[in-house]
Amino acid sequence: MKQAKVRLYVEHALGEGQTVPLTRDQAHYLFGVMRLGPEAELLLFNGRNGEWLATVAEAGKRGGCLLCHRQTRPLQCPPDLWLLFAPIRKARTDFMVEKAAEMGVARILPVKSAHTNAERIRRDRLQAHAIEAAEQCGGTFVPPVGELRPLERVLAEWPEDRLIMFCDETLAGARAGLGAAVRGKGGQGGKWAILIGPEGGFSPAERARLHALPFACPVSLGPRILRADTAAVAAMTLWQSTLGDW
Protein backbone atom coordinates (compact mmCIF):
# COMPACT_ATOMS: atom_id res chain seq x y z
CA MET A 1 0.00 0.00 0.00
CA LYS A 2 1.26 3.43 -0.88
CA GLN A 3 1.92 5.44 2.25
CA ALA A 4 0.01 8.68 2.68
CA LYS A 5 2.19 11.69 2.04
CA VAL A 6 3.29 13.85 4.93
CA ARG A 7 1.26 17.09 5.13
CA LEU A 8 3.03 20.08 6.56
CA TYR A 9 1.83 23.57 7.43
CA VAL A 10 4.31 26.33 6.58
CA GLU A 11 4.13 30.12 6.91
CA HIS A 12 5.89 30.70 3.59
CA ALA A 13 4.08 31.61 0.35
CA LEU A 14 3.45 28.64 -1.95
CA GLY A 15 3.57 28.63 -5.75
CA GLU A 16 5.11 26.86 -8.72
CA GLY A 17 8.91 26.72 -8.45
CA GLN A 18 8.83 28.36 -5.01
CA THR A 19 11.52 27.27 -2.56
CA VAL A 20 10.41 26.96 1.03
CA PRO A 21 13.02 27.17 3.79
CA LEU A 22 12.46 24.99 6.85
CA THR A 23 12.71 25.90 10.51
CA ARG A 24 14.75 23.73 12.83
CA ASP A 25 11.59 22.07 14.21
CA GLN A 26 10.23 21.35 10.75
CA ALA A 27 13.57 19.86 9.63
CA HIS A 28 13.63 17.68 12.74
CA TYR A 29 10.08 16.50 12.07
CA LEU A 30 10.58 15.76 8.36
CA PHE A 31 14.06 14.28 8.41
CA GLY A 32 14.44 13.02 11.97
CA VAL A 33 10.93 11.77 12.76
CA MET A 34 9.38 11.04 9.35
CA ARG A 35 12.73 10.03 7.84
CA LEU A 36 12.23 11.83 4.53
CA GLY A 37 15.31 12.01 2.31
CA PRO A 38 16.28 14.15 -0.69
CA GLU A 39 13.66 14.09 -3.48
CA ALA A 40 10.95 12.72 -1.14
CA GLU A 41 7.46 14.06 -1.87
CA LEU A 42 5.21 15.78 0.64
CA LEU A 43 2.21 18.11 0.70
CA LEU A 44 2.35 21.71 1.92
CA PHE A 45 -0.31 24.24 2.84
CA ASN A 46 -0.16 27.65 4.45
CA GLY A 47 -3.83 28.49 4.95
CA ARG A 48 -3.80 30.92 1.98
CA ASN A 49 -2.57 29.24 -1.22
CA GLY A 50 -4.25 25.80 -1.12
CA GLU A 51 -2.27 22.56 -0.99
CA TRP A 52 0.91 21.97 -2.99
CA LEU A 53 3.03 18.99 -3.91
CA ALA A 54 6.64 19.58 -2.92
CA THR A 55 9.90 17.64 -2.80
CA VAL A 56 12.83 17.79 -0.44
CA ALA A 57 15.57 19.88 -2.07
CA GLU A 58 17.96 20.02 0.87
CA ALA A 59 17.83 17.97 4.07
CA GLY A 60 19.92 18.95 7.07
CA LYS A 61 19.81 18.33 10.80
CA ARG A 62 18.97 21.93 11.65
CA GLY A 63 17.28 23.09 8.50
CA GLY A 64 16.62 22.42 4.88
CA CYS A 65 14.67 23.47 1.90
CA LEU A 66 11.65 22.24 -0.05
CA LEU A 67 10.70 22.85 -3.65
CA CYS A 68 7.07 23.48 -4.55
CA HIS A 69 5.79 21.88 -7.79
CA ARG A 70 2.05 22.01 -8.41
CA GLN A 71 -1.16 22.75 -6.60
CA THR A 72 -2.98 19.60 -5.54
CA ARG A 73 -6.02 21.30 -3.97
CA PRO A 74 -7.37 24.83 -3.99
CA LEU A 75 -7.89 26.77 -0.77
CA GLN A 76 -11.17 25.68 0.76
CA CYS A 77 -12.46 28.18 3.29
CA PRO A 78 -14.99 27.12 5.92
CA PRO A 79 -18.35 28.92 6.28
CA ASP A 80 -18.23 32.29 8.04
CA LEU A 81 -18.73 30.78 11.49
CA TRP A 82 -16.86 31.81 14.64
CA LEU A 83 -16.59 29.68 17.76
CA LEU A 84 -16.67 31.63 21.05
CA PHE A 85 -16.01 29.54 24.12
CA ALA A 86 -14.95 30.01 27.72
CA PRO A 87 -11.69 28.12 28.26
CA ILE A 88 -11.92 25.23 30.70
CA ARG A 89 -9.29 22.76 31.81
CA LYS A 90 -6.31 22.52 29.48
CA ALA A 91 -6.97 19.15 27.82
CA ARG A 92 -10.62 20.02 27.20
CA THR A 93 -9.76 23.43 25.76
CA ASP A 94 -7.19 21.77 23.46
CA PHE A 95 -9.90 19.33 22.40
CA MET A 96 -12.35 22.14 21.53
CA VAL A 97 -9.77 23.96 19.40
CA GLU A 98 -8.80 20.77 17.60
CA LYS A 99 -12.44 19.88 16.88
CA ALA A 100 -13.25 23.40 15.71
CA ALA A 101 -10.40 23.26 13.18
CA GLU A 102 -11.56 19.85 11.94
CA MET A 103 -15.27 20.66 11.78
CA GLY A 104 -14.80 23.91 9.89
CA VAL A 105 -14.92 27.28 11.63
CA ALA A 106 -13.41 30.51 10.36
CA ARG A 107 -12.23 31.93 13.73
CA ILE A 108 -11.78 30.69 17.28
CA LEU A 109 -12.32 33.28 20.00
CA PRO A 110 -11.73 32.37 23.65
CA VAL A 111 -13.87 34.54 25.94
CA LYS A 112 -13.75 35.12 29.67
CA SER A 113 -17.25 35.02 31.18
CA ALA A 114 -18.32 35.51 34.80
CA HIS A 115 -17.80 31.84 35.69
CA THR A 116 -14.65 31.24 33.64
CA ASN A 117 -11.87 29.87 35.82
CA ALA A 118 -8.98 30.27 33.39
CA GLU A 119 -7.21 33.62 33.79
CA ARG A 120 -5.04 33.19 30.75
CA ILE A 121 -4.56 30.93 27.78
CA ARG A 122 -1.50 29.96 25.77
CA ARG A 123 -2.67 31.36 22.48
CA ASP A 124 0.39 30.06 20.61
CA ARG A 125 -0.16 26.54 21.91
CA LEU A 126 -3.85 26.60 20.95
CA GLN A 127 -2.91 27.89 17.50
CA ALA A 128 -0.43 25.01 17.15
CA HIS A 129 -3.28 22.60 17.95
CA ALA A 130 -5.43 24.14 15.22
CA ILE A 131 -2.53 23.77 12.75
CA GLU A 132 -1.95 20.14 13.72
CA ALA A 133 -5.65 19.39 13.32
CA ALA A 134 -5.64 20.93 9.83
CA GLU A 135 -2.51 18.94 8.88
CA GLN A 136 -4.19 15.76 10.01
CA CYS A 137 -7.67 16.25 8.52
CA GLY A 138 -6.61 17.40 5.05
CA GLY A 139 -7.75 20.98 5.60
CA THR A 140 -6.23 23.83 3.61
CA PHE A 141 -7.42 26.54 6.02
CA VAL A 142 -6.36 27.14 9.63
CA PRO A 143 -8.75 29.13 11.84
CA PRO A 144 -6.91 31.90 13.69
CA VAL A 145 -7.16 31.66 17.48
CA GLY A 146 -7.72 34.99 19.24
CA GLU A 147 -6.49 36.20 22.61
CA LEU A 148 -8.69 35.63 25.67
CA ARG A 149 -11.08 38.62 25.94
CA PRO A 150 -13.87 39.44 28.37
CA LEU A 151 -17.24 38.30 27.00
CA GLU A 152 -18.71 41.65 28.04
CA ARG A 153 -16.32 43.56 25.83
CA VAL A 154 -16.70 41.16 22.92
CA LEU A 155 -20.47 41.65 23.04
CA ALA A 156 -20.15 45.44 23.38
CA GLU A 157 -18.15 45.55 20.13
CA TRP A 158 -20.16 42.88 18.36
CA PRO A 159 -20.80 43.36 14.60
CA GLU A 160 -24.59 43.48 14.44
CA ASP A 161 -24.84 41.65 11.14
CA ARG A 162 -23.47 38.46 12.74
CA LEU A 163 -25.97 36.21 14.53
CA ILE A 164 -24.97 34.35 17.70
CA MET A 165 -26.13 30.80 18.32
CA PHE A 166 -26.23 31.25 22.09
CA CYS A 167 -26.13 27.79 23.68
CA ASP A 168 -28.11 28.36 26.86
CA GLU A 169 -28.07 25.44 29.26
CA THR A 170 -31.23 26.67 31.04
CA LEU A 171 -33.09 25.84 27.80
CA ALA A 172 -32.12 22.16 28.09
CA GLY A 173 -35.27 20.21 27.25
CA ALA A 174 -37.11 23.27 25.90
CA ARG A 175 -38.29 23.42 22.30
CA ALA A 176 -35.63 25.87 21.20
CA GLY A 177 -33.75 24.22 18.37
CA LEU A 178 -31.53 26.01 15.88
CA GLY A 179 -34.14 25.63 13.13
CA ALA A 180 -36.72 27.63 15.09
CA ALA A 181 -34.15 30.30 15.96
CA VAL A 182 -33.14 30.67 12.32
CA ARG A 183 -36.77 31.00 11.20
CA GLY A 184 -37.40 33.50 14.01
CA LYS A 185 -34.59 35.75 12.78
CA GLY A 186 -35.67 35.31 9.19
CA GLY A 187 -32.07 34.44 8.38
CA GLN A 188 -30.35 31.52 6.72
CA GLY A 189 -26.63 31.24 6.15
CA GLY A 190 -24.57 34.39 6.38
CA LYS A 191 -22.41 35.37 9.31
CA TRP A 192 -22.74 33.43 12.53
CA ALA A 193 -20.99 32.63 15.79
CA ILE A 194 -21.55 29.85 18.32
CA LEU A 195 -21.27 30.77 22.01
CA ILE A 196 -20.49 28.05 24.58
CA GLY A 197 -20.24 28.78 28.30
CA PRO A 198 -17.82 27.39 30.89
CA GLU A 199 -18.36 24.47 33.28
CA GLY A 200 -20.21 26.80 35.64
CA GLY A 201 -22.54 27.98 32.89
CA PHE A 202 -23.56 31.59 32.24
CA SER A 203 -24.39 33.99 35.09
CA PRO A 204 -28.00 35.27 35.33
CA ALA A 205 -26.79 38.74 34.27
CA GLU A 206 -24.98 37.37 31.21
CA ARG A 207 -28.01 35.32 30.28
CA ALA A 208 -30.35 38.31 30.60
CA ARG A 209 -28.01 40.43 28.50
CA LEU A 210 -27.72 37.78 25.80
CA HIS A 211 -31.47 37.21 25.65
CA ALA A 212 -31.95 40.96 25.11
CA LEU A 213 -29.49 41.22 22.20
CA PRO A 214 -31.29 41.30 18.83
CA PHE A 215 -28.54 39.29 17.13
CA ALA A 216 -28.45 36.48 19.73
CA CYS A 217 -30.49 33.31 19.15
CA PRO A 218 -30.86 31.27 22.36
CA VAL A 219 -30.68 27.60 21.45
CA SER A 220 -31.08 24.32 23.35
CA LEU A 221 -28.77 21.38 22.71
CA GLY A 222 -31.25 18.76 23.85
CA PRO A 223 -32.67 17.58 27.16
CA ARG A 224 -29.37 16.83 28.91
CA ILE A 225 -26.72 19.24 30.19
CA LEU A 226 -23.57 18.61 28.18
CA ARG A 227 -20.01 19.32 29.22
CA ALA A 228 -18.67 22.40 27.50
CA ASP A 229 -16.42 20.43 25.11
CA THR A 230 -19.29 18.09 24.15
CA ALA A 231 -21.59 21.10 23.77
CA ALA A 232 -19.12 22.76 21.38
CA VAL A 233 -18.95 19.68 19.15
CA ALA A 234 -22.76 19.24 19.25
CA ALA A 235 -23.35 22.91 18.40
CA MET A 236 -20.87 22.87 15.50
CA THR A 237 -22.47 19.67 14.14
CA LEU A 238 -25.94 21.16 14.38
CA TRP A 239 -24.93 24.45 12.79
CA GLN A 240 -22.92 22.81 10.00
CA SER A 241 -25.69 20.39 9.07
CA THR A 242 -28.40 23.10 9.20
CA LEU A 243 -26.62 26.13 7.73
CA GLY A 244 -23.07 25.16 6.86
CA ASP A 245 -21.16 23.17 4.24
CA TRP A 246 -21.87 19.58 5.36
Q: Which residues would be at the binding site for ligand SAH (CB under 6 A)?
A: 167-169, 171-172, 196-197, 199-202, 220-222, 224-226, 228, 231
Residue 31 vs 85, nearer CB to ligand SAH: 85
Q: Which residues contact 223 (CB under 8 A, 6 or more apart)?
A: 172, 173
Give the C-alpha separation, 53 to 38, whole Å. Answer: 14
| Nearest residue to 138 via CA among 51, 244, 66, 36 | 51
Q: CB–CB of 54/16 below 8 Å?
A: no
Q: CB–CB of 16/32 below 8 Å?
A: no
Give the C-alpha separation, 44 to 6, whole Å. Answer: 8
How far are the Cα atoms of 46, 181, 203, 216 from residue 176, in angstroms, in the given order? 39, 7, 20, 13
Helix axes 123-137, 90-103, angle to 10 degrees: 40
Residue 145 vs 233, nearer CB to ligand SAH: 233
Q: Which residues contact 225 (CB under 8 A, 6 or more apart)?
A: 169, 172
How far are the Cα atoms of 27, 29, 171 from residue 34, in angstroms, in the given order? 10, 6, 49
